[in-house]
Structure 1
Amino acid sequence: MKGTFMSLAEVRRTRRSIFVISVLFIGIIVAFLISMNTGVIRMSPLDVIKTLVGYGTDQQHLVLFDFRLPRILIAILIGMGLAVSGAVLQALTRNALADPGIIGINSGAGMVILLYVAFYSAPTSAPVYLLPILAWLGGGVAALLVFMISYRRHKGLSSNRLVLNGVAISSGFSAVTILVSLRINPEQFQFVQTWLAGSIWSKDWNYVSALLPFIVVLLPFVYFKSQTINVLNLGAPLATGLGAAVAKQQIWLLAAAVGLASSCVAVSGSIGFVGLIAPHLARRLVGQRYQTLLPTTALVGGLLVLVADTLGRWILQPSEIPTGIVVAVIGAPYFLYLMFRTKG
């Protein structure tokens, strides 16, 4: 009887997860069509569909495939990467406030990118495919510093110290970024300000192809490790007792989380709060099991960034509000709520 009850409960959870994932997927499709119609040149959903299948005008084809579609795909990929990175970091640190931006990964990756760009006459002259790799190195250095400072030999990793040290490291990298911005030419300074605001400045297919390999490789890798993340989320002592190679698995998952966040920063700038909000919303929808939590988190993150980018382009047309600002308007109150709840 107990086995029957458990199987029925599992069926209900599976059905709920499938329903939630389906709704989120449909939401992304709807937001995709709306975003395609957002801009100076109007395109109805029917025009979008006709152009996608090859029946649009030359102008519609140019607007859709050369300007809007790459940006929309980048927004979705960025949302997925940042969201899953945040979910992994929250599991590894067992801290509800862990996020690539809060613990300094975004700032470290961005600082390296901006230092590299400062050696070029224009940001677009930097080799596109090198940017995610450099960002990964910068984000990895930041993460390593934060984890080393937060670790205590006899007490292990302190989650509270992790967040505080992450904020401190992030502030240090941000200060270096500001110093660099004071010594560059006006064109590069404009790029720096755009990057700091979290604007999706990379809007062509080269940046899509530069970001896509990281997402395509690292997201399945993290999902493959979902059962391991479930075990690590129980805490190091219990995970060790269950036979998990805790240190080895933590290093692999941390490298994947840094790679996801850093590659996204390389093509979008500093968009915060996505890795914080998306995992929490996903947990409310499908629960704690990472087999369902990770895909749900990815879809929530992709939808969040896509909606934020669409709103940023729509509110003040023809001007734009950086995507990071729109996300911050949503994320900052939720972050304060989580801090209050965690403190309590």
Structure 2
Amino acid sequence: MNHSETKRFQKWFIFFIILSILIWIGAISLGSSSLSIDRLISTLMGRGTFKEEFILFSVRLPRMLVLCLAGAALATAGAILQTISKNDLADPGIIGINAGAGLGITIFYLFVESDIQHYAYVLPVVGFISALLTAVCVYIFSYSKHSGIQPVKLVLVGVGFASALSGLMMILISSSERQEVEFVAQWLAGSIWGADWPFIVALLPWLVIGLVIVFIKHKTLDIISMGEDRARGLGVLISRERLLLMLVAVALAAAAVSVTGGISFVGLMAPHIARQIIGPVHKWYLPIAILVGSSLLVLADTIGRIIVDFSTIPAGIIVALIGSPYFIYLLIKSH
């Protein structure tokens, strides 16, 4: 990247940092339990009232951090899947990975007789195992010996698996207690239920390890995006690298949805927006995609909390309202 391109990246990176900060301030300051902007700094410095400190440190801040981490994880997972599948429409939610994680979490919730909040550290593992099984099935059914992964078939198979697994979740809860039905229904809608400090601690290691691997492998991702023949010519072991990166994408997506619920389209939109702004080089567009994904999820949750006075619309529904037209646009554009 030459000097002008470096300046361009720095300009956009600073822009999205500032935009993210403004969205974070809005997320903390707006809602039924609001904290005015002029009291925010004082409360952060420990000079707020008991009510203000409770709203900030027990309600707003953990929720916002969960949303930021989950948005970053979904954006990174989407970027990986789009590269290794050669499919610009790939997203953890669209190709069934989120639904796979959700099925595992549903089974765990229904059949483990204990308070689910005590399992903050186990849920990402449960989600990862079930999401990985789903990803393997989607991969097998969309793979061709002659042409490898077929992009359109990948989306169709993924959508089919997502629908089937969501239906299976509904069958499992059809004879369950009302409380269990409410939890699964909220999860399917993308309601941010794990908005507490233990879930941040549980989610953070998955994101840190995943991002470290991805940024170490950023050149490999660039080479894979050039095509399999060129990648093999440059000495890249395609199957091994694709498997590793697939595991990272599944782990990131599963960890995110284990605490946020079934949220789609973040992993679709964030990488696209970043690539259009800064170009296809992973080293530079991934940081932008992470900021876009985090900001998008925080913004969607904030809109869902303030758009209706008497209720909260799940963030997953708000993101879907934004992402569905974008998905249709990309689908039309790809043809």
- Which of the five TM-score ranges fits, normalised by the shorter chain? over 0.9
| Whole-Å separation in 1 of the counterparts to 2:250 and 2:75 | 12
Which runs of structure 2 are paired with 1:222-237 in the superposition (5 Å)? 222-237=214-229
Deviates more, 1:152-161 or 1:241-250: 152-161
User: Does the CA contact (< 8 Å) of 1:132 and 1:262 recur in 2?
Assistant: yes
Task: Please report the RMSD computed on the Cα atoms of aligned residues, expressed in angstroms.
Answer: 1.2
Partner letter of residue 101 of structure 2? A
Instruction: State the TM-score, normalized to the length of structure 2.
Output: 0.97
CA deviations over 1:156-206 (Å, ceiling 9, x no partner): 221121111111111121111110121210011111111110011111101
The correspondence for 1:149, drawn from 141, 156, 159, is 141
Residue correspondence of structure 1 range 166-315 to structure 2 within 5 A: 166-315=158-307
Q: 1:325 aligns with which of 302, 314, 317?
A: 317
Given that 1:123 and 1:191 are in contact with CA atoms closer than 8 Å, whether structure 2 keeps it comes out as: no
SS in 2 for 1:118: helix
Asked if the contact 2:96/2:134 (under 8 Å) is kept, the reply is yes
Report if aligned partners of 1:123, 1:188 keep a CA contact under 8 Å in 2: no
State the alpha-carbon separation in 2 of the partners of residues 89 and 125 from structure 1.
30
Distance 1:248 1:200, change over 3 A: same
- Residues 1:165 and 2:157 are matched in the alignment: yes
Aligned length: 335
Q: Which residue of 2 aligns with 1:92?
A: 84
Separation in 2, partners of 1:124, 1:250: 34
The answer to whether the Cα contact below 8 Å between 2:35 and 2:56 also exists between their aligned partners in 1 is no
1:46 paired residue number: 38
1:130 equivalent to 2:129? Answer: no
Query: What letter matches 2:304 in structure 1?
Result: G
Conserved in 1, the CA contact under 8 Å of 2:35 and 2:55? no
User: Which stretch shows the higher mean deviation, 162-171 or 248-257?
Assistant: 162-171
Distance 1:292 1:317 in 2: 40
Shift in Å at residue 217 of structure 1?
1.2
Name stretches of at least 5 consecutive residues in structure 1 with no aligned partner: 1-8
Q: Give the aligned residue type for 1:130.
A: V
Task: Name the CA distance, whole Å, in 2 between partners of 1:168 and 1:320.
Answer: 29
- Alignment-derived partner of residue 131 in structure 2: 139
Does residue 107 of structure 1 match 2:99?
yes
Q: Check conservation: 2:34, 2:55, Cα contact below 8 A.
A: no
Q: Partners in 2 of 1:125 and 1:310 — Cα distance? A: 23
Give 1:39 deviation, angstroms. Answer: 2.1
Does residue 16 of the first structure (1) align with residue 8 of the second (2)?
A: yes
Cα distance in 2, alignment partners of residues 46 and 220 from structure 1: 37
1:222-260 alpha-carbon deviations (Å, 9 max, x no partner): 111111100001111110011111111101100000000
Q: Distance in 2 between matches of 1:63 and 1:255?
A: 37
Distance 2:101 2:32 in 1: 33
* Secondary structure of the corresponding residue to residue 129 of structure 1: coil
**TM-score, normalising length: structure 1:** 0.95
Counterparts of 2:288 and 2:212, CA distance in 1: 14
